[in-house]
Structure 1
Amino acid sequence: MNGWLLTAGSVAAATTLIHATAGGRSIVRPLLGSEVAAEPKRTLHVVWHMVTVDLLLSSIVLLVLAFATAPSTVLVLFIAAQYLAYAVVFLIVTLAADWPRPLFQLPQWMLLLPVGVLALIGTR
């Protein structure tokens, strides 16, 4: 068993759960109830669910690979790169905004970054 991948997969699974529940309430419901035009609204709704699927599948893969006798390094590196890239995007967008305490306005990076780092460590 690879404890690093197990931890990365567990954090990724928790992130998926938070995304689907809390994010659904605070992001999707207000979006769907907004005056945004139908096409961009539905496109953003689809993107929301695409992210949910991506988070879910990557957490499952990390958990399965944690118990594999020879986990695929390429696959783990791909998932790590995704999570690290997602964290960087959140940090760039957050820091570019003119908000007080910007790192806490969009805190998603705090869940994404550890998954990427733990998965990277898990390839050693």
Structure 2
Amino acid sequence: MNYYLTISGILAILSSHGHLTIGSTAFLRPMLATEFDVVSKRTMHCGFHYVSAYFLTSAIVLTGLSLGILSVDKNLYLVRFIGFNWAGFAAIHIFIIQTGKIERGFIRMFQWILFSSIAILSFLVT
């Protein structure tokens, strides 16, 4: 059992759960209830679920690797790919917090901590 993968898998599961529960109620539903262009609204809806699919898929892969269901040695590039994706999510999140002038943004938009942690732990495996 690889502890870096185990922790990153657990964090990815938590991120997926938060995205699908809190994200749905705090972001998706209110956004869908607003009045603006239907194509833009549905594009955002698709984007939300693209992220959902990626979060869940990477959580499953990281957990499968940590439990030995998948071979870590044969999937190092996949682990790096997953790490780079989560690092990208963290970087974009941090950029938006810094440029968005959100009061206490790093606390209120805390997801960057999970994203960064998953990325770092994935990179430590490789």
What's the TM-score once normalised by structure 2's chain length? 0.93
Partner of 1:2: 2
Contact in 2 for aligned 1:94/1:105 (Cα 8 Å): no
SS in 1 for 2:7: helix
Question: 2:105 corresponds to which residue?
Answer: 102
Q: Which residue of structure 2 aligns with residue 25 of structure 1? A: 25
Q: Which runs of 4+ in 1 moved over 2 A?
A: 67-70
Matched ranges for 1:1-124 at <5 A:
1-68=1-68, 70-71=71-72, 72-123=75-126
TM-score (structure 1 length as normaliser): 0.94
Q: CA deviation at 1:56?
A: 0.1
Q: Which stretch has the larger CA shift, 44-53 or 108-117?
A: 108-117
Deviation of the 1:98 alpha carbon: 1.7
Q: Mind listing any 5+ residue stretches in structure 2 that lack a counterpart?
A: none
Post-superposition offset of 1:100: 1.7
Describe the superposition over 1:34-69 as per-residue Cα deviations: whole angstroms up to 9, x where unpaired. 012100000000100010000000000001111337
Deviates more, 1:84-93 or 1:96-105: 96-105
Matched positions, count: 123
